[in-house]
Amino acid sequence: MSEPPRIGLAELLDRYEVILLDAYGVLVTLDGPLPGACELIDRLNRSGQAYYMLTNGAARLPEHAALRYQGFGLAIPPERIITSAALLPAHFQAQGLVGRRCRVLGPADSLRYVELAGGRVVGLDEPFDVLVVCDQSGFPFLETVDDTLSRLIERIEAGRPPAMVLPNPDLMFPTGRGFGITSGSIALVIEAALALRYPNRPGLRFARLGKPYAAIFEEAARRAGSRAMVMIGDQLETDIRGANDFGIDSALVLGGVVGRDALGADQPQPTWLLPSLLT
């Protein structure tokens, strides 16, 4: 199978009306901006070209995320940031979860997202009807995951299985010093444990939001008023698969989570390979 064609950044920007950008692995790591990111955002802001950051992150409200990115020299306004957790209100409405007791794994902004969706956030020592895994930070990791699994099993065996929601299905992200796991990996651990205990109950799974699922792309298209978009990302299973399934073009930035060896026939293929944001 031939490699997707390479494209330079300037040509890519000229081809599309709307630019969609992933955050980690494209623009930033935990330590700061990646090469070319500040220049790209400055160029988009100056030109007035429509762009949105589509992030599976569910740990910061858009206004707080914008402040953090601005501290890195990325002048991205909050209205340009679309997070996976921003999809929670529609999901809670559709699934009848408004007003239900919610255990939320994540920092303070994750809890606020669930409150804004209509959930009633409860403490880690209280019973819950909904489990929302937003992030891997903001709580004692092993103790909280162990307790959450135990409480899930208690509820299931009492005949009252909680709803389980995963805004961020990412499994890993580049930290700048290597890689780290995210909430998607926590969800996989919980699902595997439940499958081991309940092998004949395949429905004990998280409802997944964010990329690669359509809702986050639909929100971007709604805000932009256009589907003439390209998704620039570093992960095949979220950024590239999501764009392909939504019917828009995609560009894979080399050097993020995915290496070139991952570009096989059984993987989602990007429209373009983007060697870096500097070209």
CATH number at residue 125: 3.40.50.1000
Q: Kindly state whether residue 250 falls inside one of the protein's structural domains.
A: no
Tokens of 168: 């961020």
Q: Kindly state whether residue 64 falls inside one of the protein's structural domains.
A: no
Q: Kindly state whether residue 11 falls inside one of the protein's structural domains.
A: no
Does 258 have pLDDT greater than 70? no
- Looking at every residue in the chain, the average pLDDT score rounds to 93
φ, ψ of residue 63 in degrees (nearest 5): -65, -35
Does 2 have pLDDT greater than 90? no
What number is the average pLDDT over the span 250-267? 70
Do residues 186 and 138 make contact, with C-beta atoms less than 8 angstroms apart? no
What number is the average pLDDT over the span 188-215? 96
Q: Which residue has the tokens 């995210």?
A: 182
Does 156 have pLDDT greater than 70? yes
pLDDT at 216: 96
Put the strands of the sheet holding 18-21 in their side by side order.
Answer: 81-83, 50-55, 18-21, 229-233, 249-253, 272-274
Look at residue 272 and give its three-state secondary structure: strand
Q: Kindly state whether residue 128 falls inside one of the protein's structural domains.
A: yes
Domain count, the chain: 1
Q: Kindly state whether residue 97 falls inside one of the protein's structural domains.
A: yes
Full domain range(s) for residue 152: 86-208
* Distance, CA of 109 to CA of 219 (rounded, Å): 20
* Distance, CA of 7 to CA of 4 (rounded, Å): 9
Among 113, 115, 116, 141, which Cα is nearest to 124's? 141
* Distance, CA of 86 to CA of 61 (rounded, Å): 9
* Distance, CA of 144 to CA of 152 (rounded, Å): 12
pLDDT at 255: 67
Q: Kindly state whether residue 179 falls inside one of the protein's structural domains.
A: yes
What number is the average pLDDT over the span 109-121? 98
Print burial letters for 124-145: b (CB count within 10 Å at least 16), e (below 16): eeeebbbbbbbbbebbeeeeeb
Tokens of 218: 């639909």
Q: Which DSSP symbol is given to 271?
A: S
pLDDT digits (tens, 9 = 90+) for 31-43: 899 999 999 999 9
Do residues 239 and 169 make contact, with C-beta atoms less than 8 angstroms apart? no
Q: Kindly state whether residue 114 falls inside one of the protein's structural domains.
A: yes
Distances, alpha carbon 172 to alpha carbons 24, 186, 224, 234, 257, in Å: 10, 10, 29, 11, 8
Confidence of residue 246 (pLDDT cuts 50, 70, 90): very high
Q: Kindly state whether residue 171 falls inside one of the protein's structural domains.
A: yes
Does 278 have pLDDT greater than 90? no
Confidence of residue 80 (pLDDT cuts 50, 70, 90): very high
Confidence of residue 256 (pLDDT cuts 50, 70, 90): low
Sign of CA dihedral 91, 96, 97, 98: positive
pTM assigned to the model: 0.89
The DSSP code sequence of 118-146 is: T-EE--TTS--SEEEE--S-SS-HHHHHH
* Distance, CA of 54 to CA of 38 (rounded, Å): 17
What number is the average pLDDT over the span 87-116? 98
